[in-house]
Each structure stands twice: as structure tokens, then as C-alpha cells.
Amino acid sequence: MPAPDAVRARLDSLFPPEAVVARGEELTLHPSSDEEVSAAVRICRETRTPLIPVGGGTHAELGGTVPGQAVRLSLSRLSGLVEHDDANMTVTAQAGMTVAALQSVLRQRSQFAVLDTARPERATLGGVVASNINGYRRTAYRSLRDLVIGMRVVTGNGEIVKAGGKVVKNVAGYDMCKLFVGSLGTLAVITEITARVEPLPEAEATFSLGAGPAFPTAAVLADPPLLPTAVALLNRGAATRVSGEDQEMVLVRVEGFPAVIERSGREIRARAGGEPRRLEPADHTAYWDRLAALGWEGPNGLVRVILLREDLADVWAALERGAESAEVAVDLLSGTIWVVPEDQGFATVVEILAQTVERSSGHLLLARLPADLAPLPPAQRWRPAPAALPLMAGLKHAFDSDGILNPGLALV
């Protein structure tokens, strides 16, 4: 259904024609300042119209579904660099800036941000932070909640709020930034982000090992003193998707000085009992990009499980027995498993994983539902449902009392 005429009329009266774009039944607003975002929020709040913050759309299905009758708020005109303080290793940028654009700026000063996201040329900083999907280098560097040290947001009540600061040693007051990371735009519209950055490593490489008892090999390679930045274990389905090779595969990512790379290759050879293959630079980049994108497109859905590392082997074995055709990727350092079920196998995969979660202290998230599965309420996307759901509902009411921001989405 089209947006109500009253909402369209009010938006047209406040914004220039190029900022209000209608395509069929979809109405998208392109504000160029925090004040314009606040004005849009207040209009939608007064008319009880859902407002959907929009980034690059790379994780749009995470957390639930959004109503068809809504105003979409694109941050494409809020995409500039605010400040790069390379001496203090922080960067401030508007939320609509793409990850690829930010990395290009940082590379000019031999720095980078640990934002290992799917399709970085499309993914925006605001979208990545709001979805809180961490990459395979999380353990070696830091999580998104630790990466972000400052924000500007517009709450669902229309208030412009500044949280955190632009220096790492900022300890005054509550750390509100962590509240908005992973909130999926349900509490506030993120308009600006300040994040820590890292020095670019002098060298980096990925070593690949195939065949053999994959899980024991991968587990050994994840332990000190090797200290890789990422270790991924792929079953045949995931390996075929990422590399084109139809066999179980272990990928070990190493970063640092050139001598560290060479020593790591020797250490991997000694531990694995086989000859690792060092990927060409183009494959090194392409494999991790494809791994980050695994399951975020296509009809089959995506399930994420986070467990203690000692429980990963049991899950791997259970999936090998009961869901051989699924695509499975395991982040050995953080204890995260991503599973893309085969056709018609979503319920089977969820049951296998839920049984393991019940026996451990982990949790399961239905990150994407299959195309043929009806939408689920947010609480039913978790196994088990988080004990903090009542608290999360209270926060939602405090920041968005009329419930206009991304209604129907879970706080993940």
C-alpha cells in the first residue's frame, strides 16, 4: 500500500523534491542532516507511520520482517568522512558511507577498520553497526561493540543524541554506543559513527588445507602459539561455494610482518601433518569476501549458532550425519557456526542445532528464513528466547515510545 497522502504531503512541504522519491508503492526519503532525520521521525511519529532506516540492504532480512506501508529512510546523502585522526587511530564518518569507501580513505594512511562484512561496496557503516554481524577476525582484533566508541543517533522520539566520543580513552558516563550496536534501527537512526582503526599489516596471507580429518586439524591450528587472525572450517558445500573445490577445507588467515607469514606456514605444516597451500593474493581476498557473504542471498535461509569452542566438534559431527547437503562454515576462534540448509532442509538443521544449544550455554539465531517459510515473531527466531527480552522491550519503549522504527524486528 502507498504511504498515506497526509504523510507524503507533510514530507513534500519540508524536503526538496529530490529528497522524496516515490517508486510505485514505495516512498523513500533521503535526508541530508540530523535535523532532517529528526523532522522525518517526528512526522512519522505524529501520523503513526512506520519508518524503516535503509543502508545497503546486505542484511535486510536479519531480525524479522517490516510492514509494507512504511516510509523508508535512506542515509545515502549522509555518506561523508567527518574526521580521520590517524595519530589517535580513530575515524568519524557518516552512517551512509560504504565500508569500501571508508577502507579506501584509511588505506591512504596505512590503516583499516575491522569491518569484515558481506559486499563492502554496498554495505554502509550504519547498516553494519546496526546489524552487529562480526567477521572471522573478531577474536584477533575486536568485536563491533568494542570497535565503535562514538555515535550520533536520532531516537524514535525525534531526539538527536550524541553518545561516546572521538578518543579511545573516553570513560565519562554510560557507554550508550553498545546499546545501539545490534539494535537493527529499532531504537534510533544511526547518523554518524566514530570507530577505532588498526595499522595495515605489512603482509597477510591465507593458507588452505583440504581433505583429511578436517575438524581435528582446524582445532589444532586455532591454538597458540600460532595466533592466526582467522581460522575457518568449511564442509564440502561451503568450500564449493567459496573456492570451487568439492572437499572439506580449512582456511588459516595470518597477518603481520613477512617473517611471521613464513613462520606460520612452517608451523601449519608441522601441526597439520600436510602441505598447506598459500593462496594467491586475489584468492586470499575473494575467499574471505565470499565467506562473509555465505547465506545472505538465495532462497534457503541462514542459521547462526554461537557456542563454547569445546562444543563445536559435536555440532560439526551432528551436521555431517543429519544435514550432509547443507553448507556449513565454522569460525574456530569465536565459536560461531553458520549453516545454509539445503532445499527443504531448514527444519531439520534447526532441530539438530537446537538440541546442541539446549545442552550447552550457546544460542541459535534464525538469521534469514527460507523464502517459503512464513514470517516468525522476533522472539521465535531465537533458541532459546533471550531472558532479556522484557528489558529489551522496555528500552524500545524508552527510545521509541510509539514504536515507529522498524516495527517487527528483533533486537539482535
- State the maximum Cα–Cα separation within the chain, in Å, rounded to a whole number: 70
Pinpoint the residues of the chain covered by CATH 3.40.462.40.
Answer: 203-368
Check pLDDT > 50 for residue 70. yes
Which residues touch 166 (CB under 8 Å, ≥6 apart)?
A: 83, 85, 88, 90, 92, 149, 150, 194
Helix (H) or strand (E) holding 206: strand 203-210
112-126, 169-183, 201-215 — most confident range: 112-126
Give the CATH number of domain 5-74; options: 3.30.2320.80, 3.30.43.10, 2.60.20.30, 3.20.20.70. 3.30.43.10
Residue 217 dihedral angles phi and psi, to the nearest 5°: -65, -50
Task: Please state the φ and ψ torsions of residue 295, each to the nearest 5 degrees.
Answer: 90, -5
The one-letter code for the residue type at 142 is R
Q: Give per-residue pLDDT as tens, 306-334.
A: 998 889 988 999 998 999 899 999 999 99
Average pLDDT, the chain: 90
Sorting pLDDT into bands at 50, 70 and 90, what band is 2?
very low
Report, as an integer, the average pLDDT of 91-97: 98
**Which residues lie below 8 Å from residue 316, measured CB to CB, with a gap of 6+?**
215, 233, 328, 330, 337
* 362 Cβ contact partners less than 8 Å away, ≥ 6 residues apart: 305, 306, 307, 308, 311, 335, 356
Q: In the predicted model, what is the mean pLDDT of residues 197-220?
A: 86
DSSP annotation string for 32-67? -SHHHHHHHHHHHHHHT--EEEES--TTTTTTB---
Domain with CATH 3.30.465.10 in the chain: 81-199
Least Cα distance to 327 among 410, 206, 236 occurs for 236
CA 274 to chain CA mean position, Å = 34
Q: Domain 81-199's class?
A: alpha beta
Q: Which residues pair with 164 in a beta bridge?
A: 150
> Percent of the chain at pLDDT above 90?
67
Burial of residue 327 (CB within 10 Å: 0-12, 13-18, 19+) is buried
pLDDT-wise least confident of 211-225, 318-332, 346-360: 211-225
pLDDT given at position 1: 42
Q: Which CATH number fits domain 203-368: 3.40.50.1370, 2.40.50.140, 3.40.50.720, 3.40.462.40?
A: 3.40.462.40
pLDDT digits 0-9 by tens, 101-135: 999 999 999 999 999 998 999 999 999 999 999 99
pLDDT (average), residues 254-280: 92
